[in-house]
Amino acid sequence: MAEEIYKAACEHAHGRTNRQRHPAHLLHVSLLLMDEFDKPPYDLIPRIETAIGSIRACPLTVTLDACAIYGGGRHLALTSAARNTDIQAFVRMLHGALSRHNLPRQAFRTPSPHVTIIYGYGRKEVLNIGKSFTWQAREFALVYSHKGETRHEPFGCWRFNADAPPYARPASQLSLLDEPITGGDRNPALTTKAAMRNDGPRETR
C-alpha cells in the first residue's frame, strides 16, 4: 500500500512541484504525539512498554479517500472524509495508558488520521483521489522523529490483538441507536440532533 501511495504522490507532483515526495518506507499515519524532547528519551522506553502492554486493542481498518493541505498550507496529505471512530477510541486508549503510568503526554486531541505525502508542497492543487486507499493495520509503532531530518528512530512495535473486544461506540452513536426515528410527522434531521443532546428535549417537531 505504501508503494501505491508513493506512486500516486509522484504522479501528482510531476509538473507541479520539485519538492521531494515522502519515501514509501517512511509513510505513516500519526496517531498520538507524546511530547517534544531535545534528545531521544531512551530511559522512558521500559515504562512505555509497560503502559502499552496494559491495553488490548483489535486491528484497525484505515481508509484514506480524500486529500487536503496540512501544516498551515505547507504540506500535502491524504485524509479521510469520514470520521474513524475506531481510531479515535484506540487513541483514547493509548492516551489513558500513558496517563495511568504517569508518562509524558500532550493534552488529548481528537485524532485526524492522515498520511503526509509531500512536505513543503506549497501549492493549492490537491491530489484527485479515484479509488480510496484502504488497509487493515495489524501493528502500531512508537518512533522518535529527528527534527530537521528525514529519519524516524523506532522505539518499539506492537501487534494488535485480533481477540480483543470491539471498540466502544461513541455516546452520540449509542444515543442515536436508542432513539429510532418513527412516525411521519417528525423531521429526521431535527430528531437526530435532539437525540444527540443530553440537556435538551428528547423530541423536536
Fold entry, domain 2-159: Cyclic Phosphodiesterase; Chain: A, (3.90.1140)
Most confident of 17-21, 112-116, 177-181: 112-116
Local confidence band at 201 (pLDDT 50, 70, 90 cut-offs) = very low
How far, in Å, CA of 91 to CA of 183, rounded? Answer: 39
Q: Which residue has the cell 485480533?
A: 162
- Looking at residue 59, its pLDDT comes to 95
Rg (Cα) of the chain, in Å, rounded?
20
- What lies within 8 Å, CB to CB, of 18 at 6+ separation is none
- Looking at residue 178, its pLDDT comes to 47
Q: Which residue has the cell 517534544?
A: 36
Q: Give the mean model confidence (pLDDT) for residues 80-100.
A: 92
Domains of the chain, by residue range, sit at 2-159, 169-205
* pLDDT, tens digit (0-9, with 9 covering 90-100), for 124-168: 888 888 889 999 999 999 988 887 676 788 889 999 999 999 998
* pLDDT, tens digit (0-9, with 9 covering 90-100), for 46-66: 999 999 999 999 999 999 999
pTM for the structure as a whole: 0.75
